[in-house]
Amino acid sequence: MTRQLQLDPISVSVQGARIVYDGAALFDDFDFTLAAGRWTSLLGPSGIGKTTLLRLIAGLADNGAGDAVACDDGRPLAGRVAYMAQQDLLLPWRRAIDNVLLGRDLRGRRGRERADRARALLDQVGLDDKRDALPNQLSSGQRQRVALARTLFEDRPVVLMDEPFSALDALTRMRLQDLAAGLLQGRTVLLVTHDPLEALRLSDTIGVMTGQPATVAAATVPPGVPPRRADDPEVLALQGDLLRRFGAAP
């Protein structure tokens, strides 16, 4: 199995963020913390601000709120974060393997070892026979798997993922959840999802985002080590609780 590099975990905090869209405050004095080396999942209705929070942490905010993000080691987060967006963002003229290697190529760090690791990751996401395919030759689920392999390839201490398994069938989704849990062990991960069961399987902490301006309330996570069994009675009971809380969100 391909192994990620061992990196020191980083805690990331957002403090006092304010973001306004169309005259309405999406965030106002907003605080949020990602615990070092842990998985945090974020649930909430569409349009509440989950993707905006990911982009803020990733340094992609275009509203001047980037200075609200800080790391516990005092160093900038830039260059230490991998971001997987909802869209696969594959370059249409690059083969699957070359899309996985995009970051490497942009940094000018070519090498056989890195190419071998990219091929191994494509094999692990079930696309060994599609490594030379162009994006328009792949299904939406296959494109999402290439994007996941590209994110895992980056070996960053902080990983932000926006609905990374949404286009996959149920069995493939669970298999790749297990893969990501293993390869990202010890990383600081923020997962945005609309699937409470996915959050419960993978997370150390779960937040539910509600309101305008948005706030995040913590939720209980069952004992045990992720990835948890989908049929675990405690997981299923908490899934019902999260669905009720999620459904009550405005």
Amino acid letter for position 34 = L
On average, the pLDDT of the chain sits at 90
State the average pLDDT over residues 4-11: 76
How does pLDDT run across 55-72, given as a tens digit for each residue? 999 998 766 676 899 999
> Is residue 111 scored above 70 in pLDDT?
no
One domain, residues 106 and 210: no
C-alpha pair distances (Å), 90 with each of 114, 144, 181, 220: 19, 9, 23, 36
How does pLDDT run across 40-51, given as a tens digit for each residue? 999 988 889 999
Which residue is listed with tokens 């190529």?
105
Report the domain count for the chain: 2
Domain membership of residue 126 (yes or no) is yes
One domain, residues 177 and 146: no
One domain, residues 42 and 121: no
Between 119 and 65, where is the model more confident?
119
Write down the pTM of the prediction.
0.92
> Is residue 249 scored above 70 in pLDDT?
no
Cis peptide before 213 (omega within 30 of 0): yes
One domain, residues 60 and 168: yes
Query: Domain holding 217: CATH number?
Result: 3.40.50.300
* Separation between Cα atoms, residue 111 and residue 115, nearest integer Å: 6
Domain membership of residue 237 (yes or no) is yes
The first and second tokens of residue 219, run together, are 């939720």
Between 66 and 133, where is the model more confident?
133
One domain, residues 140 and 231: no
Q: Please, which residues have CB within 8 angstroms of residue 31's CB and are 6 or more apart in sequence?
A: 13, 14, 15, 16, 17
Domain span including residue 205: 1-80+158-250
Degrees to nearest 5, angle at CA 163 with 71 and 124? 95
Specify whether the backbone of 173 is left (phi greater than 0), alpha (psi in -120 to 50) or beta. Answer: alpha
With CA atoms as reference, report the closest residue to 50 among 205, 214, 233, 238. 214
One domain, residues 13 and 127: no
